[in-house]
Amino acid sequence: MKEVQVKVPGHSYTIKLGSGVIKELPAELKRLNPSSCLIATNITVGSLYLKKATDLCNGMCRTESVVLPDGEAYKDWGSVSAILEKLASMGADRKSVVIALGGGVVGDLAGFAAAIYMRGIRFIQVPTTLLAMVDSSVGGKTGMNMTAGKNLVGTFHQPEAVIADSDFLRTLPEREIGAGIAEIIKHGVLADKTYFEELERDMEKLRALDPETVAKVVGRSCEIKAGVVSRDEKEKGERAKLNLGHTFGHAIEKLTGYGTWLHGEAVAVGTVLAAVTAEKQGKINCGDVKRIQDLIHRAGLPVRIAGISASKAIEAMKGDKKSTKGVPHFILPVAIGTTVIEEVPEGLIKEALLEEGYE
Ligand code: NAD
Ligand code: MG
C-alpha cells in the first residue's frame, strides 16, 4: 500500500492506494467513529462492489446504501436529492459519514450531498475508475450539472480519506481506462518531465494494467494533483494549470454532444491543440509537441477529432466557465513538465485549429 498526503488550510487527509486497499475501509471508519454511514453508488458499480463495501462497513457502524442510475446525464439535482432524502430518512446526523463508491460522477454527487446535508458532514472517496483515482477523488471539488452547463453548481468539500483500490480497474471498460490515462499524461506534461518520460517507457504496461505500473502512476499523479491543490485549494492561480487541454476539450464535448467523446478523450485532443498553439507562439519546440502527440496516440487516445468547425469551437471556448469577459484562458505547455496560463488572441487559436485540420 502507498500513501499520499493532501494538506489544505485547516484539513489534511490521506490517499491510500494499491491492490486490495479497500480492506482499509473499516480502519478509516474506526478512526472517524461515525454514528452511521451511507454508501452512495450507481447501478453498475453497485452490482459489482456494493455488497463487499457494505460488509466491510457494517462491522463498524450501521450502514445503508443509495443506488443511483448510471451516467453523466444523472449528475443532476434528482441524484443529489435522492442522496439527501436517504440521509434524512435513515436518520443520519452530523456525525454520519457518506462513502462515495464509484467514478467521478458518483464522487462529485456524493461529495456535494455530504457538503450540504446539515451544512456539511464528512465523506470518504472510494474511486473505482482510473480517472477518479488520479483526478476527481482528490482535491475537494464536488458538484453537479445544470441544463445550462457542466459542473455549474458545487462546493469545495474535502474528503476525510481517499481509498483507491486498483483491483476495481479490472472490470472497467478499456475506453474508460484510456480516459484516465489522458489526465495522467496531462499531469506529466504540466508538471513533471521525469514522470512524462516514465510514461513514455511504461505506456504499454499501464494500458495492460500491470499492477506495479498502475500503483506507481496512480501514486505519482495523486502526488502532483495533491501538491497543486495544497498550494492553491480554491483555484486562485496555480490550480488552473490542471485545466491543461480542457479549454478545447470542453468545446469538443459541447459541440459533439456530451457523451459522444469521453471527457478524457476530449482532453487528449485539447492537450494536443494547446501544444500546437504554444508552438505557434514560439513557446515550445516542435520536438516536444511531437512527443506529446506520440504519447497520446500510443495511449490509444485521439489526437484530433473530425467534423469540428474552428469558428464554432472558438465561440464555445469564449463561453467556457474559465473565460473572463469572453476571452478564453489557455494553459500552454512551454516544455514538457512546464506550463503557463495565458489569454491567447483569437487569431492565434484559429491558426492552430486550422493547422490541426479543423475547418
Ligand atoms: P463515471 O463516473 O461516469 O464512470 C465511467 C463509467 O464507468 C460509468 O458507466 C460507471 O458506472 C463505470 N464504472 C465505474 N467504475 C467501474 C468499475 N470499477 N468497473 C466497471 N465499470 C465501472 O466517469 P469518470 O470518468 O470516473 O468521472 C467523470 C466525472 O468526473 C465527470 O462528471 C467530471 O465532471 C468529474 N470530474 C470531477 C473532478 C473533480 O475535481 N471533482 C475532476 C475530474 C472529473
Ligand atoms: Mg478533467
Tell me the pLDDT tens digit for each residue of 279-295: 999 999 999 999 999 99
For residue 235, report the phi and psi dihedrals to the nearest 5 degrees.
Answer: 55, 55
Regarding the beta carbon of 75 and ligand 1, being less than 6 Å apart is answered yes
Entry pTM: 0.96
Report the 10 Å Cβ neighbour count for 31: 11
In the annotation, is 263 catalytic? yes
Regarding the beta carbon of 260 and ligand 1, being less than 6 Å apart is answered no
Q: Which ligand is nearest to the CA of 246?
A: 2
Tell me the pLDDT tens digit for each residue of 170-226: 999 999 999 999 999 999 999 999 999 999 999 999 999 999 999 999 999 999 999
Tell me the pLDDT tens digit for each residue of 9-57: 999 999 999 999 999 999 999 999 999 999 999 999 999 999 999 999 9
Ligand 2 centroid vs 288 CA: distance in angstroms? 22
- Atom index in ligand 1 nearest the CA of residue 108 equals 41
Tell me what percent of the residues of the chain surpass a pLDDT of 90: 89
Ligand 2 centroid vs 139 CA: distance in angstroms? 12
- What interface predicted TM-score (ipTM) does this complex get? 0.99
In the annotation, is 42 catalytic? no
Ligand 2 centroid vs 137 CA: distance in angstroms? 12
Instruction: Check 160, 243, 253, 265 and give the catalytic one.
Output: 243
Ligand 1 centroid vs 176 CA: distance in angstroms? 8
Instruction: Check 235, 238, 342, 351 and give the catalytic one.
Output: 235
Regarding the beta carbon of 151 and ligand 1, being less than 6 Å apart is answered yes
Regarding the beta carbon of 356 and ligand 1, being less than 6 Å apart is answered no
Q: Which ligand is nearest to the CA of 43?
A: 1
Q: Which ligand is nearest to the CA of 247?
A: 2
pLDDT above 80 for 320: no
